[in-house]
Amino acid sequence: MAGTGTRGYSGDGGPATSARVYDPHGVAIDAQGNLFIGDFGNFRVRRVDASTGIITTVAGNGKYGYSGDGGPATQAELRQPLGVALDRSGNLFVSDTYRIRRVDAASGMITTVAGNGTNVVTGDGGPATEAGIGIAIEIKLENFPKYVRRQHLKRFIAMYEIFKLILPVKGSIVECGVFRGFSVMAWAKLSTILEPENLTRRIYGFDSFGGFPSVSDADRAGAGVAAPGDFQTTSYQELLELIRVYDQDRFLGHLPKVELIPGDASITIPEFVQRNTHLLVSLLFLDFDLYEPTKVALEQLVPRMPRGAVLAFDELDNPSWPGETKALLDSLPLNRLKIQRLEWDPYVGYAILD
């Protein structure tokens, strides 16, 4: 879409594929499909027109620094234009070394809207432009092992190990219990990395996105802690937007890959299976925590799993969530499943169906 593969700065006013860029970082696409690139090494933000493919500079004059607020964005100095984003009106936001700068869509004028340029976190409750906003989020994400807690990194590695088991198995991935989206987006990105041409492997995520719709006696047994409304989240709209961005950053991105199915899974899973008569499941990952939706998922989806498929659980043998274990005991012959665990992870249990 842009760049020749050779570092440099050239090509404004011509085809983007003939232009040189230098260490491009963040990208964003506006409602018209125009592409914006954080051209980090050139201290610029550049735009590729969706209709013509022509590239232009929309912010930055190529000099390293901080200047130009209140004037044309193309005459301003930028330091590290790492991240770019757009709002619904087409205004451009640039993450620029402990500051967020805004380029007005109508006038092309640049202003600083947050951050004072210092690598500290200060200023809550005061003007945004006087606040210290610390290390840019893009830099933290690029260096995430420095910041992420051990247990979260371990969980991602667990997802990777499970995913490798299904690479030769036909079928889609069903995530039961999306919550904030860690696992469902892990499956999506692992598929993009490890099997970019597997266009029929879809990732389906079920969740109420409103907390537990109801809780049964099985979920309260013993030390059970479940209560209606637990794990309510506002992640649904955010995930839809992240899926859109994900589709822009993968091979065959014009074909659907991730689908979220909101609502009470005890109802939505049977409806989904009835609508999708083609469905095969290579990985069923159960993280509902509760008896009823877990039992429905097992009864509806296990018959669609071929030999070699992986059935995985997140809360088996956990006294806080007894409903998941009871759902398994009431649905499948336990002694015919070899439920294994990863040596370094206490939660995930899985069985390879044979």
pLDDT of residue 135: 64
pLDDT of residue 53: 96
Q: What is the mean pLDDT of the chain?
A: 93
**CB-based contact 193:343 (threshold 8 Å):** no
pLDDT band at 138 (very low <50, low <70, confident <90, very high): low
Cβ-in-10-Å burial (0-12, 13-18, 19+) of 147 comes to exposed
Long-range CB contact pairs, 240-244, < 8 A, 24+: 242/181, 242/185, 243/188
> According to the per-residue pLDDT averaged within each range, which of 65-74, 119-128, 222-231 is highest?
65-74
pLDDT over 80 (residue 119): no
pLDDT of residue 323: 96
Q: In what order do the strands lie in the sheet with 24-29?
A: 24-29, 35-39, 44-48, 55-59
Q: Over range 307-315, report the average pLDDT.
A: 97
pLDDT of residue 155: 94
pLDDT of residue 141: 77
**CB-based contact 47:56 (threshold 8 Å):** yes
pLDDT over 90 (residue 149): no
**CB-based contact 37:95 (threshold 8 Å):** no
pLDDT of residue 139: 72
pLDDT of residue 330: 97
Q: Over range 301-315, report the average pLDDT.
A: 98
pLDDT over 60 (residue 136): no
pLDDT over 90 (residue 315): yes
What SS3 state is found at 111? strand
Contacts of 335 by beta carbon, 8 Å cutoff, 6+ apart: none
Q: Over range 71-88, report the average pLDDT.
A: 93
Measured distance CA(89)–CA(46) in Å, rounded: 18
Enumerate the β-bridge partners of residue 206: 176, 261
Measured distance CA(101)–CA(115) in Å, rounded: 9
Measured distance CA(61)–CA(177) in Å, rounded: 48
- Closest CA relative to residue 166, chosen from 191, 144, 199, 188: 191
pLDDT over 80 (residue 134): no
**Cα–Cα–Cα angle for 86, 91, 94, rounded to 5 degrees:** 60
Measured distance CA(193)–CA(250) in Å, rounded: 9
> According to the per-residue pLDDT averaged within each range, which of 17-26, 128-137, 342-351 is highest?
342-351
Considering only 77-81, 105-109, 147-151, 156-160, which range has the smallest mean pLDDT?
Answer: 147-151
Residue pLDDT, tens place only, 167-225: 999 999 999 999 989 999 999 999 999 999 999 999 999 999 999 999 999 999 888 88
Considering only 78-92, 177-191, 231-245, which range has the smallest mean pLDDT?
Answer: 231-245
Residue pLDDT, tens place only, 259-280: 999 999 999 999 999 999 999 9
pLDDT of residue 50: 95
Q: Over range 163-167, report the average pLDDT.
A: 98
